[in-house]
Amino acid sequence: MTTITLLGGAGFMGAGIVRDLVSDRAIIDITTIRLCDASRPRMESLAAELADPRIVLVDLDVTDPAQLNAAIADADICINCVPTLLGFQMAIFEAAFAAKVPYMDLGGLGTFTVKQIAEHERFKAAGVTAVLGAGSDPGMSNVICRAVADELDEIDRINLYWAAELIGDENPILVPPYSVSTVLAEYAHPSTQFLDGAHVTCAPMTGVEIVDLPEPWGRCEFMYSPHSEQLTVPLAEGISEKGIKEFTWKLHLPHREHEAWVGLVKAGFGEFDDPVEVNGVKVKPLDVLSKVIQRNIERHGDRIPEQQSHEIHFAIGHGRKNGKQVIARCDVVVTPDAMYAPYVDACTSMNASIAAQLILKYPKKPGVYAPESYFDAETYFPELDKRKFKVTKTVVEA
């Protein structure tokens, strides 16, 4: 009997996790999927589409402690898909601890990662497991870094990258690749990188680096971005003691989309939680922008062309192996496939499903962990293969 609770389960990422859980890729026997969300229409629509009797709908107001506790109670795992920047992550984290239910979330730019990791000993003593940032970036990307680190006896640096490219006609409609607040934060907020053996704060859109990749990405301009990987990977057991002095995470979005987000930040939308007054009413820029983008997509959906999304996630490690200077690299490439059609972001939601199922399948480790400290590549990568994510690893002399 396995019960999985998904909070925010009818949102873009939550819905994708449910799709993967009910697919033939499942690696555990799932009895019940509690789909918990504030939107009854979204839940009913998803349940009707998937038509799986294991899906149970639970109306959830995450600000109501009684509803939150009831949604989590007696579950075998709680997957938190509520957008991090809404500010409920710590409350949900603590509710899972109180219920002694294993907890997992999708990260959210590392906003609460340090606070959560600080609770490791308390969770460990109570026998409760929590895994943070278990989507694609963070999540799968952390496991990529673990795979690279395991190839090196000594580590000088590991640099982590994510790039996306869209193939097809130019889209006249701005379609966010994921949460609007997340994209804006990646462009507008400072990031913490690990440089010269210490965490330092870097200004938004700095650390610019040009990397030549195979087609369809070609020459890409990467930049620093706030994420959780750089907060945890260089401190992880099996990595920190190998002498690592540098760890960075960099982002590349397709050129036209990149320019659009830069323009929005220039216009002031980067301060998305700072209200402005309009005709005597205070509103948050994020709320206005999200509604306008959503309305624009709904009104002009017929103008959105067919585009194929290509993603590449890769980590490059420099160090020594058997006394020789080497470069270890691990890439995960995600190219268009019919399997991904119903998903908004197949990579994130499929990886979250993988992580949740691996937590449930194997003996749990009590405490609070980032993915590189909880999962091993040998167990994780075969699940990527099932979902047609192409993994390659190389080690060459420098």
Beta strands, E only, 42-153 = 55-59, 77-80, 103-105, 129-131
pLDDT digits (tens, 9 = 90+) for 210-223: 999 999 999 999 99
pLDDT band for position 156 (cuts 50, 70, 90): very high
Statement: residue 85 has pLDDT above 80: no
Statement: residue 10 has pLDDT above 80: yes
pLDDT band for position 256 (cuts 50, 70, 90): confident
What is the pTM (predicted TM-score) of this model? 0.93
Residues 6+ apart with CB under 8 A from 241: none
**What was the pLDDT predicted at 255?**
87
What letter does residue 302 receive in the DSSP assignment?
Answer: G
Least Cα distance to 357 among 345, 372, 375, 341 occurs for: 375
Q: Which residue is associated with the tokens 């401190």?
A: 235
Crossing angle (nearest 10°) for helices 140-149 and 346-361: 70
3-state secondary structure at position 396: strand
pLDDT digits (tens, 9 = 90+) for 106-151: 986 788 999 999 999 999 999 999 999 999 999 999 999 999 999 9
pLDDT digits (tens, 9 = 90+) for 24-46: 999 999 999 999 999 999 999 99
What is the full DSSP assignment across 319-366?
A: EEETTEEEEEEEEEEE---GGGTT-SSHHHHHHHHHHHHHHHHS----
User: Is residue 192 within 8 Å of residue 231, measured between CB atoms?
Assistant: yes
Residue 236 has phi, psi (to 5 degrees) of: -70, 145
* Dist CA 188 CA 269 (whole Å): 9
**What was the pLDDT predicted at 104?**
98
What is the full DSSP assignment across 283-295?
A: E-HHHHHHHHHHH
**What was the pLDDT predicted at 344?**
85
**What was the pLDDT predicted at 25?**
96
Residues 6+ apart with CB under 8 A from 382: none
Q: What is the mean pLDDT of the chain?
A: 95
Least Cα distance to 271 among 206, 161, 336, 188 occurs for: 188
* Dist CA 261 CA 394 (whole Å): 34
User: Is residue 331 within 8 Å of residue 392, measured between CB atoms?
Assistant: yes
**What was the pLDDT predicted at 12?**
87
In the chain, the amino acid numbered 223 is M
